[in-house]
Structure 1
Amino acid sequence: MAVIRNVLNSFNRVALNMRLRSKLFVVYLLLSIIPLYVFVFYSYHTIRNELTEQTYSAMSNTINQISENIQDKMDNYTKISAALYLDVKLQDYLTRDYSESAEYLEAYEYINRTFGNIRTTHPDVYGISVYISHDRFPSDGYYIKPIDDTIRRTAWYNQVIQTFGNPIFGTIITDQEQTNIFTLARLLNINSLNYPYGVLVFHMKEDEIYSLMAKESANKDIFIADPQGVIVSAKNKTLLSTNLHSLLKHTVPQSPTGTFDTVYNGERSLVVYRTLKNGWQTVSVVPYSSFLAKAQTATTNLMLMALSITVSAIILLYLTSGLLTKRFERLLGGIRKVSREDFNIKLHDMGNDEIGQVSSAFTKMSDKIDNLINEVYKKEISKKETELHMLQSQINPHFLYNTLGSISALALRQGDSQVYAMVQHLAKFYRISLNKGKNIITIGEEIELTRNYISIQQTRFKGMLHVDYDVDETLHHCQTIKLIVQPFVENSINHGIWDDERGVGIVIRVSRDGYERIVIDIIDDGMGMDQAAIEAAILKTEAVSGFGIFNVSERIRLAFGDSYGVQVFSRIGIGTQVRITLPLHLNEQNCSHNE
């Protein structure tokens, strides 16, 4: 919090010392330019993310469809090879020990017919070969071929002899006709995994696989790779048998599906892949530029528009702020002249807008200030008198409501004698307090007013109010403002009673001190107040008890000066003393007359 406060204080200091034109530029920058560019940036990234998500979804659907088609074709090849793998007659021909040459001619006739039928019914099978490991059956070099050292050194042979008859799909090879083919191979055995008698190999053109994804390769690159990452099929045939991981500069994970970003052909690209049952992977690569080009173009155009708007706005702001600041400077010059008591102010061509209206009003004001200066003192006196009358008029009706409530209650419970007494005291109270609208009464009248009020309250609080008076009778004719004692007596009654049996004792003392002041003390032995409550009461302008401490003190100060007023002394559990001080020298004639 301290750091934030220091930053805000530093900002305030800088802002207060900046010229108005600079402030306008800063406000425009914060409220217009920055939000505009943030909006452009946010729009671009939102569109980019949306397009990326749509492209990923489309690529995933495409990859899934291609993978399913390839899987179906591989399953078909597997079923065909299984038919030959389980052909007992073919197994017998290939494992028999021929004693006469005419016997294997029958075998060749069966093999040619069987293999030929397969190639006829499945034209995508480019070739079929059986590699045998013995010399009991002569090779024809077409369907039947020997397993020589060259074959034994091949990777696919070393892989197939470890599969125990399960089909494996091999990588791309190129035949004598420069045709790219891939293979399916499976080990042939005599009803036992320990006695293989040959290897069945199907040859399929790479084009058969590529035809399944050719239509989807228009604006993207799709690859089929084996588990080692060797490319089996692709649009660019020069990439066949190369390593896809090296091409993408990223290893394609062996997870079922997934996506990642990489750099391909020098462009940042999105890669989506899916893994088939046999470990082959279908991989689609799309450069981001291919589907974000329009978004980037739109963003560039938007940025150019924002830039042109910004430049135009800055020029307009510069001209407008110049018009404003020049007029402010002229107005400031006039204010400085007035501060030097030079009221001859002439401001021309200031316009009719707010600045012009302020300038016009300021000119008129400066013309009148000379006349107003002579009237200030009289206006201040009038203001004080008005405040005094306003304070005097703020009689809280709470007391009246309580008194009438007491009268009503007594009228119901008792006879009319007490009601009559209360009404008499009430009439005397208001006769003195209202005083025909005059604010000044004598101290004797103020004490009499207080006595009437206490008489009413004693009727209400039977036996609970114990009031003693110690009044210097020589001060009876001294003048004071009215209703300065009664509010504090009311406070003592309302807030001082804390024991319903004991009640409260109140002493009202009127005397003079050695400083030529009249001192009125209202002392009670009630609950008392702590210092916080005293301070709150002094600052409170409205209270439930009459005028309140502040009100009485303010009326005395306005009437007699700041040297006089109200002081409060109190302790919890002991009681409260309110001291009112009034001037004696202003009352010398009235007081001496009494003497």
Structure 2
Amino acid sequence: MFKKPNAYIPLRYKLLSSYLLLVMTPVLVLGSYSYFTSVKSSEEHTRGNLEIAVRQIASNVDYRLSDVIRSSDDIFADQPLSRILSGYYLDYEKYTIMTQYILPKLESAANLPVLDAKLSVYLSNTNISEYYYISDFYYKDEMEKANSQGQETRGRQYSIYHLNRIENKPWYRSLSSAYDFKTWMQVEDDVTRGSISFLRPVINYDTLLPIGLIRMSAKLKDIFFDVDFTQLGDDSLLFVVNGSDELLYTSSLDEMNPNILTVAKNGFSGPPDRYMQIRQPIANMDAELVAWIPTSSFQENSQRVRNLTIWISLVSLIVLTAISWLVSRYFSKRFMKLIRSLKAFKEGDFHKRMVVPGNDEFSQIGDAFNDMASNMEKLIDEVYLSKLEKKEVELQVLHSQMNPHFLYNTFSSISRMAKLGEIDKMHEMVRALAKFYRLSLNKGEMIISIEKELQIIQSYIDIQKIKFADRIVAEYDIDEAALGYETIKFILQPFVENSIEHAWYDDEIHVRIRIALEGDDVVMQVEDNGIGMKEELVEQVLDPTEKGVGYGIRNVDQRIKLQFGKGCGVSIDSSIGEGTTVTIRFPKYVR
């Protein structure tokens, strides 16, 4: 019966027909997703920029605070100065100690490169005289006069006081007793002066007990001068709070909303309504930099993003946004068939074929693929068979290299017995040799059962016992379950021969043959109590590039790897004076 062929439909017509299937849903979904994603991205970008700005401000503050801390370290860590401040001096010594060491050290510490700070050292040692700021006592009138005229005045910014001035004050008594404590605190007149002080002890390094207190005071406006709300935009607020969430500093107190100020002064757990909060810890002080940014600042960007998204969605509708998804799905179904077929080839299923209905370009691809698959399967079969033949030849060559080695040694022993007139022993050895070759020849087959391989090695050991007059003690530890599997012929004999020929350590040598199953592997071991081998010699024996050392052992290792793969083979464990254990491992195998 005549069958009408399927009509050929070109791919371009299929594409044109798919363009007629436009729907609004993909556009709405993609548009909505783009809108919300863009708004969120815009907000995250804006917040990220603000966080960077706040971190930079906090970093600048930390830099100035670290300047104060480094300066106090010069006094705290100076052990010679500590001993001087702890000592007792006569009146004529005080002036020398004060002018030549103490005051220069304090002046050096007080002169900060970044901040104008005042250094005060309180000492429990009343033998050290007090020394005051110029602005505190002697020249107070002159300082006030200079300040009223707008002149900059910087007298001595350091002083020495006796500790009894402050030791009963609550703020001092609240300080930690640890020898290495340090803290920022507003003490004495700091609040009225708009300052804050860094406090840490003066230590007697012989006793590790405090002998005084270091106080470095700096103006808050000098420390936090770049905490300026104008850096974050209109209506934004920027201030510093201490560890108890109490307002410590702001540059815009008078311009803040009074209600918000009340919240900040009394402590707070979050920003007011319609404000976003960013908090950045200040590393060198128990305080945080807090920024409040009105959320209205994001609305303008959100509106622009919304309008842009709507415009893009409309254009996308016109230029066939949804069609792209449908067409890609149409193609993907057919391409997946090709991919599945290729994966089947990768996994070794060379019989897989690609069935594509219809009469178009995809059906042509399917036919071409099937033709290619048939050719590849044929070529793979041919190459595989040729490799098997090559592998069999290589095994035969390696095996043929082993038999003459043993035969030469045995004939040498028979010749020696003949010269010595040991006819009975020679007769017994010839019979044992005949039995050995009757077992090992095995009709020319390279693969034999493990049971037959065991019989071969037993015959070999019997021959050696005749040669060495029963000075060889052989033991066998055989798992009967392993005897039914198959192995390459003649793989135990080289290792037993190596033990008997080279491992003698005493009048007798003990050889133990072990055959067992371990999981999916067969494990054979030849163990002796001989002299053992050095690690370097073991490496040479197994090194395929070595020549003249361990030829028979490498021969066995190569034969196993050739038959069963590179993951199998021979390993040697040997210790000088303790003996050698050779392990042969290969997978369970039955033809």
Highest CA radius of gyration, 1 or 2?
A: 1
State TM-score, norm by structure 2: 0.36
TM-score (norm 1): 0.36
